[in-house]
Structure 1
Amino acid sequence: MSLTVRLCRPEDEAAWDAFVLASPQAGFCHRFAWQRVLQRAFGHRGHFLLAEQAGEIVGVLPLAEVRSRLFGYKLSSLPFCVYGGIAANSEAAAGALRAAACERAQALGVDALELRNTQDSGSGWPTKDLYYTFRKPITADNDANLKAIPNRQRAMIRKGINSGLEGEEVAGTNRLYRVYAESVRNLGTPVFSRRYLEILREEFGTDCRVLMIREGDEDVAGVMSFYFRGEVLPYYGGSIARARHIKGCNHFMYWDLLRRSAEEGITSFDFGRSKRDTGPFDFKKNWGFEPQPLPYEYFLVKATAVPDVNPSNPKYRLLVDTWRRLPLPLANLLGPPVARSLG
């Protein structure tokens, strides 16, 4: 039977998501709805490729364009997602999708094609040793989950509990956005629009939830998480500046999410992506999670070197330092046009 690769169509959604659900190479970031999310929230054009054989999907590769005067022009799998790349049933299907992606990248004239793999593909393409992920099984026994966390971090969780912090699942995104926008401004990073969070909730429904952490009546931290195939992935999380003076605030937030997830039968906790040699990397590792490299790979079209768009790049140090000093209302106004190109 011949194997073909084509762009997906709206009517492919059910079959695409059924393949993603069944494929061990795929995850939440491969879901079909991301194409609509990226278009609706940022105007990024999707190129979701599928491989077919005998009328059945045998591989998928979600791609989208990101064009920016500041940060270049790329075709990526997948913008605003920490994971991506090819999910396929065979080497033939994977090879066909890779070839089709390269052809599309060349036809578009991008700087580079980026595949955000979770495993080394063996392609020989240049890779970036920058990002790591942290995943660990959890059980239905929260006493065991707590004991699995090293002593120092467990003590911080208890301090958060003793501080009177409380977690609350909420339906909207307004409260999370207020906390998250302040958090990323303090880090020197432009924030996206609140509409993006709303679109995520609309597209993914109950697989996208918000947990807020309160001290009394004040929101001090919050996180939006994705749920897929028995795993929870805390994705957009942050805390206000005052939370630094609340002992164990961030520890409590992630513990409360883990605890709630375990109680509903979730069996895996994905602490998400962090850059090596950073505070978040150490925070997750100190929870007893083993860092796993994310070998993002690149097919260079017009670029002569692997793109390096991240806040740690000295090239962007002045922008980061300036952004930290902006008044929050101004940062929230200026942030979305810049952030749309940072996915």
Structure 2
Amino acid sequence: MTATTESDSADWNEFVSRHPQGSVYHRYEVANLIKDTFSQQPYYYKSSNQEGSINGVLPTVRLKSVFFGDYFVSLPFFNYGGVLADTPEIAQGLITKAAKAATQIGASHIEFRHIDPVSANLTLRQDKVLMVKPLPDNREALLKEFKTKLRAQIKRPAREGAVARNGAHDLLADFYQVFSENMRDLGTPVYSINFFRALLDQPWIDSTILVVFIGNEPTAAAFLIKDGPRMEIPWASTRRKFNRLSVNMCLYSEALGLAIDKGCSVFDFGRSSVDSGTYRFKKQWGAEPVQLNWQYWLADGQKMPALTPSNPKYQLAINTWQKLPLCIANFLGPKIIRSLP
């Protein structure tokens, strides 16, 4: 079990591409993207067989701040990560290696964002599910799957003049206007626009921006990432003053259609708590839950981390953030969110 270097990148990516749980976020280049965008330090581990071929990888990133502590995540800022290995024994060896490094540094924990659990020796968290929908071959078949009420909700924004456009850098400013305003209204620090620009710049990430306009006003927006046959919508937002026009229905309908146009067979709505508002919203589109098994290595004496907006200790900060002018929230947000997973 060894740490990796840039020379390992091709072999690392080849292993990720053939592993059934591998994702675009496991690719070696993500280390540099996170380091360059968030100024956080990646710690990447690999295992190799006697012939020198990689048979296991573990990407982690150290997040350290005065306010939120010192810990590792595999992987922060994205929904997926964790150990990829050919056998449980190899997986355990990589976890042990990462835990040893975390102990030496004095980190409180390591978070592994697994779909399927890989080790019985880790603390398990199962409060979130992944919402996934199989896609038909064409848009017409997709529309026929929807109930009458949903089809009516999809049509309503068009009567208000809503038009969906997809693109990349040309829509980045419009996307960020919607996204940052929504994050401020939720009381959540926002990512820097440079993070999304960096994602668009990567030739190994197939990303698309989708924006719903009414006139010249961006009203709803999403950042989509295609990973093989799967289309993921990791970031989506609407501007509160346009919610009454159901522009989110236009956004998601077009996102599903775009996924079909790009040849995807699965649409990934992201994670939700069971029976939450977002869970029910995704369910109406035909998404079904897949249990997420996030696992944790905890240093001696440490408890499970609770770095979530639902933690009561953050409520005052959330309420204060919601009242900030947008320009101030957008200036301060990236400085804070870089240390949150």
1:105-136 per-residue CA deviation (whole Å, 9 max, x = no partner) reads: 11221010110111122414222233221112
Residues 303 and 316 of structure 1, relative CA distance in 2, 3 Å threshold: farther
Q: Which residue of 2 aligns with 1:55?
A: 52
Q: Which residue of 2 aligns with 1:328?
A: 326
1:21-40 → structure 2 map (5 Å cutoff): 21-40=17-36
Question: TM-score, length-normalised on structure 1?
Answer: 0.93
Deviation >4 Å, runs of 4+: none
Q: Which residue of 2 aligns with 1:274?
A: 272
Aligned counterparts of 1:277 and 1:322: Cα–Cα separation in 2: 28
2:336 to 314, 331, 338: 338
Among the aligned pairs, what percent are the same residue?
30
Q: Which residue of 1 aligns with 2:69?
A: 72
Give, in angstroms, the shift of residue 307 of structure 1. 0.1
Give, in angstroms, the shift of residue 205 of structure 1. 5.4
2:39 to 27, 39, 43: 43
Is 1:120 aligned with 2:117?
A: yes
Asked if 2 retains the 8 angstrom alpha-carbon contact of 1:59 and 1:88, the reply is: yes
Aligned counterparts of 1:148 and 1:18: Cα–Cα separation in 2: 37
Give, in angstroms, the shift of residue 204 of structure 1. 4.5
Is 1:86 aligned with 2:83?
A: yes
| Residues paired across the two proteins, number | 338
The 3-state SS of whatever aligns with 2:218 is strand
Give the gaps of 5 or more residues in structure 2: none
Asked if 2 retains the 8 angstrom alpha-carbon contact of 1:109 and 1:302, the reply is: no
Deviates more, 1:325-334 or 1:281-290: 281-290
Give, in angstroms, the shift of residue 269 of structure 1. 0.5
Q: Which AA in structure 2 matches 1:208? A: S
Give, in angstroms, the shift of residue 210 of structure 1. 1.0
1:48-101 per-residue CA deviation (whole Å, 9 max, x = no partner) reads: 111111121111111000012222211110111111111111223212212111
Q: Which AA in structure 2 matches 1:35? A: A
Give, in angstroms, the shift of residue 281 of structure 1. 2.2
Deviates more, 1:115-124 or 1:218-227: 115-124
Residues 328 and 33 of structure 1, relative CA distance in 2, 3 Å threshold: same
Q: Which residue of 1 aligns with 2:104?
A: 107
Q: Which AA in structure 1 matches 2:329? A: A
The 3-state SS of whatever aligns with 2:42 is coil
Deviates more, 1:120-129 or 1:178-187: 120-129
Asked if 1 retains the 8 angstrom alpha-carbon contact of 2:63 and 2:72, the reply is: yes
Q: Which residue of 2 aligns with 1:196?
A: 195
1:11 to 7, 13, 27: 7
Aligned counterparts of 1:92 and 1:125: Cα–Cα separation in 2: 14
The alignment's C-alpha RMSD in Å is 1.7
Asked if 1 retains the 8 angstrom alpha-carbon contact of 2:83 and 2:118, the reply is: no
Q: Which residue of 2 aligns with 1:156?
A: 153
Is 1:145 aligned with 2:157?
A: no
Give, in angstroms, the shift of residue 29 of structure 1. 2.1
Give the gaps of 5 or more residues in structure 1: none
Q: Which AA in structure 2 matches 1:60? A: V
Q: Which AA in structure 1 matches 2:47? A: A
Aligned counterparts of 2:319 and 2:127: Cα–Cα separation in 1: 21
Q: Which AA in structure 1 matches 2:233? A: P
Question: TM-score, length-normalised on structure 2?
Answer: 0.94
Q: Which AA in structure 1 matches 2:146? A: I
